[in-house]
Structure 1
């Protein structure tokens, strides 16, 4: 055998030795890669590290894996209410809703009534998350979510006033980080409504970059309760502080410095959170913002060189500088509940009310809900509401399981609020002129005005989509990326290299496996993907298709990280689309879980099918957006060939399916009740929503009689009769003896309730401004 003949075998032996002998591999291969990796890894500040490491990884980790274990999803317990929580929802929450007239709140008083405030405080609404040992209700996250959802179907001012004290704020921070003395003093007072909390974080100059707040505290000595103590002199200027104008206990985030070393060697201590009584000298409160006619209490707070003792720090002096981590860890739980719940409430109210209106209101002698153009809007309203509520429930359930789901809470916040915007916009389109004229009988106008609030707060949606969902998810949820970064940051280079070597080759194997899996699913249409035994037959293909998405997504992520590296952080549009894929997979997971948890209601299947098909189509579009804009066109070509070898298999949901969804909204049924289960349903025709429900029932009762009249019209029985118009046709039919007295009574009741529903409010010429000026 010649040397040339043995050379390939020799090279193969050398390659195998390099790969299988870790010391040799680290010397020849991993070591150089490790040096390059450390050099190109973008620098990370302490605040960025705290944000990345905050919270926990939950189901989104399975979606990142490339091969989700669907049995795990289906094994999560369905969130339920205890008997006590259900009683509170049925009694106290319904009473609170009945106390509020949203028009009066948003147009006349610009605040809840004193009676409503007293009721909320005395019945524990402000202390739902506080454990019973401190006098709170000790409710689950799901119960908290259910309460906020129902309140939101009545009034946003009511819902926000309740959700903020139970979200990110003094109570949440005290429970996790407060000293025993702080807990024992403040938590009972917060639970009883003796203290109204607010939390001041947002700065006019920092906005969503809360880690950059200029508000500062300087450690110094000063007088407190007659003696000299070490404290802080704090200056702040905050805005958008919900409940700020009426709070009695202000949570405050600021950057703490210790220039004189009074607390130790560290001069820049970091973000710190403190609790400040509203009447503490120097605290400025009371002025208000007006957030788009939502009129919940919101306003600025300021203070200039306000001295406060170190005991004001949540957790005491020992937690100074830990405020950013505290906020990031608590934000996940609050964001998972508050905004998803309030926006689902708006969507459920829209679905119930607009669906009824579309059956009561007629044009061209037909209910407007039967027009195909209107059906398109009703379809989105119904299917999005089903998906949104599924997402809200699954995410709140994660919190009750002990999770602090940072990534899925961002997904829920972004996608629920964005879909709520579409739902309310579609509702306004169906209402037409009725919707654009404000007044006591307009049940949707204020929701339309207020939708941007949820989209803006707790992180503007543009930033949530383009920076947070994938930016945080790619590092936290990926099985290897964060560990590789930690290995690169290890102060012991030898230990870091050893860990990186192990992780790198595991990562490469993970990527290769997902690439082959994605290609296999693409070639076979995912028909051979495993499906959990417990899955419903009508949903089995969705699990298979989601498995395909997961494998394709995991592979696309790894290729993107390899090709773009740290530059992916700056390519916000690509990052946003990758986040869209992850989000759509989570929304589909939640929708499938809801269908299983509710007992596979066959009548609800159109809602499931339309929502999932729409999400699959949107995920496919996001894949297409990433590949079409990939900077390396050869890699993009290979990705398209691997992930979609036969083109795009997912299309928009069919018109027939949309027709089935729309039909569920325009008539009473168990499906409609399940879809809008959280809605407060006022009785009586003096309330616009109560009148709608009565008008819907009256319309259905009168439809057989109306069909009889239509036949008479065709025979020309009303020719020349001026009463034979759309408004007075019942009178003409009764006069012509086409209908008897009983049938006329049904029509007359329908017409009276219809007129209440279609009424548009009008006002004096000056809109009452003279009266307002006089008062």
Structure 2
């Protein structure tokens, strides 16, 4: 036996330690296999793969996250200028919003709100100060959009689009000096209203397939013959297009006559075109589920523009796809998550209040466990939304362009927003379905599919983007191995591949042993940066991170390029990465908030949910693995003792809800994006006023109820119980009035709008 072990050890040393032997016996066959299974990449896929940066998701993908790095990113905070803008300008803008009037009567924002947005620079939150913009942080941008969205999705979308994917951002990053000086000051002052036309009838989530064309040719412009582009386009779903004065346009550029060089198929290009330019068609509106923000079409036939209208100038011809991918990722990380987070804050504020004041069977509905189960989901999802909003904007404010992270944020946060609104509608029931000035849920409920759909439909974001980009970009070796395999000089490629392969094998073995060891020990030996009740969550996340890493290597080994088409499998692997990212955000928010004790029940609820879902996704990867031998081995590595990650217990649900059914700092931290407004007629003020009044009179009502039960207060049909309690000497006249006022506030809060006719 000893001789056999020595012989085996010597064989391994020779195979891996002697370069010439390793190259012939291991690396060359592996190189040939890798080239054979390598997924083919189109030019647009390659550009998308190379666009953006790898950030925290790279740590999560690597098997052993550096938690100190996570907590070293800093805390999201507003500058004094940003705080002042929110205190003054945003508060005043909120006072101008009557969302029922906007949606059902005007079908547009009121003129005074449009003018205020222009005058105060709401359309230039991201434009540099040197051009008259505010140059606010991503966190401030997100906060402003969220606060507007808490009262009106239509108003928030109107503001978010110029500050997301659009001419302002593209010009700031890629524009020529002349373009910036011409357009950015006018955009900052609101003299120009921008839109960006990307989506068309045949190109939605597959934006790289846009059929709109531009042909380089000679034409007349400003009375002279110049080299330019003849454009033809047909776009739809373009927000602000009906009112825009300047149009950003994405199209495929061709140069059949070689006027720009040898390349005929130049690729996706972006140009900036005044809407007043001959041949540009705008003004037609869509009806996005009845909401009132401007959304419509733009078309153009044989429209000639000069070359210098290309964003960035002629030198950026063909670079549009990379520009779009990088700018789209910012929009995915700020705008749509901001809408979802606003829904969470508003739903948490109103639904906890409603659950405390709405009574059935003689008790608040918040006391029913069925309601508590849905309330816990609302509260937990809102904490998660706020956590993910902050971590994602932190990355963007660090000048990182994390395309994978923003895809995670867009998909999961908009889905959580949908879940929040579904649960809020279930709890508030009739209050939620009767539209009117006092209905604060209806328009948010209707708006959910908009966020789910825009900037890439969620189904494709989950099944193609998150893991499709994440596995290749985040993996420490695969992208480099792909580059080696695609080299023209095969021997040089083999040299590079040989060096990478050994490191890759060591990486895989480490993750495999780490995942197996943590599974056997319940993650007790994993690293953790903190003590206390959250320490085990870091340890379990290290276990799942190493499990994701080894599962990814197994999947790539077996399926290779086929993995791109095995969307259900890649989506599950993406789900694991996403759950780890969301869990990281949750733990960071808890630390950034000062480890508030009253937040712990909600943190436990969220973290147990995240870990359960991550483990379930990994288990499904194993269950559906196509190779039976490796399926058995992968299952043995990841779950040798079974899957013991359970969701929140009933007690955790009760504790998470209990602290939110009364006023307190914890509730304020989850509702601050839906602020109290003086003169608010949206219905939010009514339910919050009733909530506070009922809380303040809780002990008085308990005294009255106890007296009635003991027979100290005799009630006759039609008697007001508070008057009767006063007459019986149980409460004072002042206390009776206070109780009656609270009861009137309660009735007003649960009332719905009535109309003579519709």
TM-score by length of 2: 0.97
Give 2:96's aligned residue. 99
> Are the aligned partners of 1:442 and 1:688 in contact in 2 as well (CA < 8 Å)?
yes
2:553 to 533, 558, 565: 558
Distance 1:456 1:742, change over 3 A: same
Counterpart CA distance in 2 for 1:603 and 1:441 is 31
Alpha-carbon offset, residue 87 of structure 1: 0.7
Q: What is aligned with 1:504?
A: 501
Structure 1 position 540, deviation (Å)? 0.9
Match 1:760 to one of 738, 752, 757: 752
Aligned equivalent of 1:57, options 54, 57, 81: 54
Alignment of 1:303-702 (within 5 A): 303-532=300-529, 535-684=530-679, 686-702=681-697
Q: For the residues of structure 1 that align with 2:623 and 2:330, how far apart are their CA atoms?
A: 36
2:29 pairs with 1:32 = yes
After TM superposition, the structure 1 stretch with the greater mean CA deviation from structure 2, 593-602 or 20-29, is 20-29
Describe the SS at the equivalent of 2:534.
Answer: helix
Helix, strand or coil: the match of 1:73?
helix
Contact 2:278–2:303 (8 Å) recurs in 1: yes
1:152-208 deviation per Cα after TM superposition (whole angstroms, max 9, x unaligned): 111111111111111111111111111110011111111111111110000111211
Partners of 1:651 and 1:70 in 2: CA distance:
24
Q: Deviations over 1:673-721 (max 9, x none)?
A: 1111222212347441111221111111222222222223324566672
Q: What's the offset of the Cα at 1:523?
A: 0.7
Q: Secondary structure at the match of 2:169?
A: helix
- The aligned residue for residue 119 of structure 2 is 122
| Structure 2 CA distance for partners of 1:6 and 1:417, relative to 1, 3 Å | closer
String of CA shifts for 1:360-382, please: whole Å, max 9, x gaps: 11111111111111111111111
Secondary structure class of the residue paired with 1:465:
helix
Among candidates 105, 109, 122, match of residue 108 of structure 1? 105
Task: Give, in angstroms, the shift of residue 103 of structure 1.
Answer: 0.6
> Quick check: 1:170 aligned with 2:150?
no
Q: Check whether the contact 2:439–2:682 (CA below 8 A) recurs between aligned residues.
A: no
**1:256 CA displacement:** 0.8
Note the C-alpha offset of 1:764: 2.3
Work out whether residues 198 and 244 of structure 1, in 8 Å CA contact, stay in contact via their aligned partners in 2: yes
Q: Is the 8 A contact 1:151 1:680 kept in 2?
A: no
Deviation at 1:230, TM superposition (A): 1.0
CA distance in 1 between counterparts of 2:443 and 2:724 reads 39
> What are the superposed Cα offsets for residues 573-618 of structure 1, whole Å, 9 maximum, x if unpaired?
1111111110000011000000111111111111111100011111
After superposition, give the CA deviation of every residue in 1:214-266 in whole Å (9 maximum; x if it has no partner).
00111111110001111111111111101111111110000111112221211
Post-superposition shift, 1:665? 2.3
Measured in 2, the distance between the counterparts of 1:76 and 1:13 equals 47
Instruction: Return 5+ residue gaps in structure 2 as ranges.
Output: none
Q: CA separation in 2, counterparts of 1:277 and 1:79?
A: 37
Equivalences for 1:294-305 in 2 at 5 Å? 294-305=291-302
1:314 positional shift: 0.3
2:738 pairs with 1:746: yes
Higher alpha-carbon deviation: 639-648 or 266-275 = 639-648
Query: How far has the Cα of 1:33 moved from its partner?
Result: 2.2
Question: Is residue 721–residue 732 contact of structure 1 (8 Å, CA) maintained in 2?
Answer: no
Cα distance in 2 for partners of 1:464, 1:225 equals 44
For 1:182 and 1:687, the matched residues in 2 are separated by 42
For normalisation by structure 1, the TM-score amounts to 0.95
Contact 1:685 1:694 in 2 (8 A): no
Does the 8 Å CA contact 2:98/2:682 hold for their aligned counterparts?
Answer: no
Structure 1: gaps of 5 or more residues: 768-775
Mapped to 2, the partners of 1:503 and 1:692 lie a distance apart of 62
Cα RMSD, aligned residues only: 1.7
Counterparts of 1:394 and 1:14 in 2: how far apart (Å)? 49
Taking the aligned partners of 1:560 and 1:32, their CA distance within structure 2 comes to: 19
- Structure-1 residue corresponding to 2:185: 188
Residue by residue, what CA displacement relative to the aligned partner does 1:435-486 show, whole Å, maximum 9, x if unpaired?
1111111111111111111111111111011111111100000000111001
Distance 1:676 1:548, change over 3 A: same
* Correspondence 1:245-324 to 2 at 5 A: 245-324=242-321
Q: Deviations over 1:83-113 (max 9, x none)?
A: 1111111111111111110111111101111
Q: CA deviation at 1:145?
A: 1.2
Q: Distance in 2 between matches of 1:41 and 1:449?
A: 43
Say whether the 8 Å CA contact 2:71–2:588 is kept in structure 1. yes
Distance change in 2, residues 1:296/1:407 (3 Å) = same
Q: What SS does structure 1 have at the residue aligned with 2:659?
A: helix
1:127-164 deviations in Å (ceiling 9; x for gaps): 11111111110111111111111111111111111111
**Residue 734 of structure 1, CA deviation:** 4.6
Change (3 A) 1:294 1:185: same
Q: Distance in 1 between matches of 2:293 and 2:545?
A: 41
Whole-angstrom CA distance in 2 between matches of 1:684 and 1:194: 31
Q: Indicate how the Cα distance of structure 1 residues 687 and 327 shifts in structure 2: closer, same or farther if over 3 A, else same.
A: closer
